[in-house]
């Protein structure tokens, strides 16, 4: 019984011992958990600190680079900020040029091997001397390659002494810095390029504006000289017109003077001769040879008298000065019709009681004379109408025939002689008038001269003096 | 046989040769006497007032006062003096001008003396006398008056009428074509048709026709 009791007791003891052992193990586990948790917290705290430091670094780097525009300065500042953050001895940013072979490296590395690694895009991490043998390397070293479009463009190298260089955060930070520096440099270069192209553009623009100014000034000069030329030409034309006007007016004056001399002197002397002949006839016995002779002489004198009249009229019809254009035209048309045996009618409308300028009258008279002459020479007409109408603010002279006509501007020698037409146009223009010619083969020809009444009507007594006081 | 009272003649001419010739010829006439001569208008007026001539022969183209003015002054101052314009100008316009100025006779120097003596006797008898050779020239416009159209406008289409109006108003064919918006050939055809219908041959005929129709 005692044995059974002991064995029961022993069993209890063993049980108790086992429980204790479990408890101890549980306690140990708890301790381990606590230690682990504490370690985790510390690690988290450390990571937080690192992250915070990294954030501060990023902010500092961004601040430092923001205002910079010079690639070399960007690289130097980025290196300084990174060196401070990592407490590194030396940080170098090396541009690798396209030709690639001459990479500038901060210290005396096994350059070829290093370049090969970098070209392959691999980050180079060398731990501190001591943990691993190295022929040259003294400190820890990180080199981060920057590969863009498959090409190594730069490397950021950090020689380190303080914190463990191989820490992934540090490597990441170096890589990030390299990227940012590169981006900042690229931006700066792009801005520089932009600035330069803008500068070029500005210079180009300036040059262009300068050329435009020069050209504008040249043009202004040319324009001014052209205008001067135009003015001179206009002045010359006006002078020619004035000369022509004076010439025509002098010609008319001269004709008037000669006509008057012929009519007055020669005519009066002729009258005297004829009176004497009449006297002689009265004193001569009829039916004698002498009487016949006197008779013949009287007929000759009469013919001579008519010739004198005709000559004077041809030179300048006295009617033009004393009676005006309508009367002179009536006489002209009548005389022409009689002389060339072609029916010619003359009529006026709206002209009664209107005084016309004497130069307008003279020129229209000469134009009618010329037009009738052309009808006689070229038209083979059987009817001619001469019309002088004043209506609708214009004075119109028309000479219209029913002759064979001609094709205007056909250039044929059969056409109305152009020279005559040119001088007729000029004559019309002298008094502000316009001459038009209409002709159709088989339908006759119409010569029309139109003068604005403003130019044609006599406005002051001065213009009529010549007509009313021919002898002055 | 009582001596007839001779007509007293004043000769006004600036040409002495003409005056002398005329004087001799006139004095040959049994019923005429040259009572005075004058070389210009003022002399003529003076003599007309003092010499009491019956007839003054006045050259219409003289220096200073011209014949028309002299004629007017003489007839104003001495209405009983008859003035005959004696001139070389055979233009109807001059004839009208001188007759308006008061002359009752108009004789050309180119005519025979008999024309002058007939004129002197005619005006002295109170008649008007115009040289026979210019009678036709005085009234040429009246000799061919526009005959009033028998049935004005009736036969003409409105386009023909319009074309004739514009022809009469001295518009050129081109102007007519432009204003009616038709071509030149149509203007020619329309004008020809209208003139044929109205019996007109020339533009002056058209003008007279238009005047008779009251278009102008």
When scoring B15, B88, B164, B196 by the number of chain A Cβ atoms within 10 A, the one with the most, hence best to mutate, is B88
Tell me whether residues A302 and B204 touch, CB distance under 8 A: no
As for the ipTM of the complex, it is 0.75
Please name the member of A269, A275, A448 whose beta carbon is closest to the beta carbon of B25: A275
Nearest chain A residue to B139, by CA:
A330
- The reported pTM is 0.60
* Three-point CA angle B181, B184, B186, nearest 5°: 80
pLDDT confidence of residue B56: 95
> Which residues of chain A are under the pLDDT cut of 70?
1, 97-111, 126-139, 160-167, 408-419, 459-472
Tell me whether residues A309 and B61 touch, CB distance under 8 A: no
What SS3 string covers chain A?
A: CHHHHHHHHHHHHHHHHHHHHHHHHHHHHHHHHHHHHHHHHHHHHHHHHHHHHHHHHHHHHHHHHHCCCCHHHHHHHHHHHHHHHHCEEEEEEEECCCCCCCCCCCCCCCHHHHHHHHHCCCCEEECCECCECCCCCCCEEEEEEEEECCEEEEEEEEEECCCCCCCHHHHHHHHHHHHHHHHHHHHHHHHHHHHHHHHHHHHHHHHHHHHHHHHHHHHHHHHHHHHHHHHHHHHHHHHHHHHHHHHHHHHHHHHHHHHHHHHHHHHHHHHHHHHHHHHHHHHCCCCCHHHHHHHHHHHHHHHHHHHHHHHHHHHCCHHHHHCCHHHHHHHHHHHHHHHHCCEEEEEEECCCCCCECHHHHHHHHHHHHHHHHHHHHHHCCCEEEEEEEEECCEEEEEEEECCCCCCCCCCCCCCCCHHHHHHHHHHHHHCCCEEEEEECCCCCEEEEEEEEHHHHECCCCHHHHHHHCCCC
Tell me whether residues B25 and A470 touch, CB distance under 8 A: no
Please name the member of B62, B204, B211 whose beta carbon is closest to the beta carbon of A345: B204
**Which residues 6+ apart lie within 8 Å of A10 measured at CB?**
none
Please name the member of A267, A385, A440 whose beta carbon is closest to the beta carbon of B204: A385
Range 262-291 of A in CB contact (< 8 A) with B: 263-264, 267-269, 271-272, 274-276, 278-279, 282
Say yes or no to pLDDT of B137 above 70.
no
Contacts of B170 in chain A (CB under 8 A): 349, 387, 389, 391, 396, 398, 448
What's the CA gap between B130 and B91, in Å, rounded?
12
CA distance B172 to chain A (A): 7
pLDDT confidence of residue A469: 39
Please name the member of B91, B188, B208 whose beta carbon is closest to the beta carbon of A440: B188
pLDDT confidence of residue A388: 95
What's the CA gap between B2 and B5, in Å, rounded?
9
pLDDT band at B150 (very low <50, low <70, confident <90, very high): low
Measured in degrees and rounded to the nearest 5, phi and psi for residue A436 equal -125, 150
Tell me whether residues A279 and B92 touch, CB distance under 8 A: no
Range 373-432 of A in CB contact (< 8 A) with B: 383-387, 389, 391-392, 396, 398, 400, 402
CA distance A219 to chain B (A): 43
């Amino acid at each position: 019984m005692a044995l059974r009791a002991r064995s029961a007791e022993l069993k209890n003891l063993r049980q108790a011992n086992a429980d204790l052992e479990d408890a101890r193990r549980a306690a140990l586990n708890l301790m381990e958990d606590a230690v682990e948790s504490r370690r985790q917290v510390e690690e988290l705290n450390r990571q937080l600190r690192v992250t915070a430091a990294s954030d501060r670094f990023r902010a500092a780097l961004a601040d430092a680079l923001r205002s910079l525009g010079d690639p070399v300065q960007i690289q130097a500042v980025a290196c300084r900020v990174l060196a401070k953050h990592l407490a590194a001895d030396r940080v170098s940013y090396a541009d690798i040029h396209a030709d690639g072979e001459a990479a500038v490296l901060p210290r005396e590395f096994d350059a070829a091997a290093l370049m090969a690694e970098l070209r392959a895009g691999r980050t180079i991490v060398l731990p501190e001397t001591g943990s691993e043998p190295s022929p040259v390397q003294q400190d820890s070293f990180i080199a981060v390659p920057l590969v863009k479009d498959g090409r190594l463009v730069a490397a950021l190298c950090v020689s380190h002494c303080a914190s463990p260089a191989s820490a992934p955060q540090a490597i990441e930070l170096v890589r990030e810095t390299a990227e940012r520096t590169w981006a900042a440099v690229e931006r700066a270069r792009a801005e520089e390029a932009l600035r330069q192209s803008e500068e070029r553009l500005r210079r180009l623009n300036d040059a262009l504006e300068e050329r435009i100014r020069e050209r504008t000034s040249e043009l202004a000069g040319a324009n001014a000289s052209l205008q001067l030329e135009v003015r001179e030409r206009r002045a010359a034309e006006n002078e020619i017109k004035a000369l022509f006007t004076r010439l025509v007016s002098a010609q008319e004056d001269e004709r008037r003077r000669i006509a008057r001399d012929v009519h007055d002197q020669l005519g009066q002397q002729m009258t005297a001769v004829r009176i004497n002949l009449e006297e002689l006839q009265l004193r001569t016995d009829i039916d004698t040879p002498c009487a016949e002779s006197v008779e013949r002489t009287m007929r000759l004198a009469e013919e001579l008298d008519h010739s004198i009249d005709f000559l004077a009229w041809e030179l300048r019809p006295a009617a033009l000065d004393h009676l005006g254009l309508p009367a002179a035209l009536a006489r002209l048309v009548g005389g022409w019709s009689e002389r060339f045996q072609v029916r010619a009618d003359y009529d006026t409308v709206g002209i009664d009681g209107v005084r016309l300028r004497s130069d307008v009258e003279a020129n229209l008279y000469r134009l009618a004379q010329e037009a009738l002459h052309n009808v006689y020479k070229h038209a083979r007409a059987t009817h001619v109408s001469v019309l002088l109408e004043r209506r609708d603010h214009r004075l119109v002279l028309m000479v219209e025939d029913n002759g064979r006509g001609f094709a205007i501007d056909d250039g044929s020698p059969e056409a109305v002689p152009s020279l005559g037409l040119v001088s007729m146009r000029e004559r019309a223009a002298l008094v502000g008038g316009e001459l038009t010619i209409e002709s159709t083969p088989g339908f006759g020809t119409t010569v029309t001269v139109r003068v604005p009444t403003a130019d044609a009507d006599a406005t002051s007594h001065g213009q009529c003096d010549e007509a009313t006081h021919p002898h002055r | 046989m009582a001596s007839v009272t001779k007509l007293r003649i004043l000769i006004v001419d600036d040409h002495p040769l003409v005056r002398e010739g005329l004087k001799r010829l006139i004095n040959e006439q049994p019923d005429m006497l040259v009572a005075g001569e004058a070389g210009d208008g003022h002399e003529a007026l003076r003599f007309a007032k003092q010499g009491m001539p019956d007839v003054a022969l006045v050259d219409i183209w003289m220096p200073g006062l011209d014949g028309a003015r002299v004629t007017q002054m003489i007839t104003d101052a001495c209405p009983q003096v008859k003035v005959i314009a004696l001139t070389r100008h055979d233009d109807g316009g001059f004839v009208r001008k001188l007759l308006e100025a008061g002359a009752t006779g108009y004789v050309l120097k180119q005519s025979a003396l008999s024309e002058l003596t007939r004129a002197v006797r005619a005006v002295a008898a109170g008649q008007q006398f115009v040289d026979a050779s210019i009678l036709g020239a005085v009234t040429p416009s009246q000799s061919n008056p526009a005959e009033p159209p028998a049935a004005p406008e009736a036969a003409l289409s409105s386009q023909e009428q319009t074309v004739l109006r514009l022809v009469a108003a001295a518009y050129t064919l081109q102007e007519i074509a432009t204003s009616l918006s038709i071509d030149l050939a149509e203007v020619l055809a329309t004008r020809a048709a209208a003139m044929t219908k109205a019996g007109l041959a020339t533009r002056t005929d058209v003008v007279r026709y238009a005047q008779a129709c009251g278009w102008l």
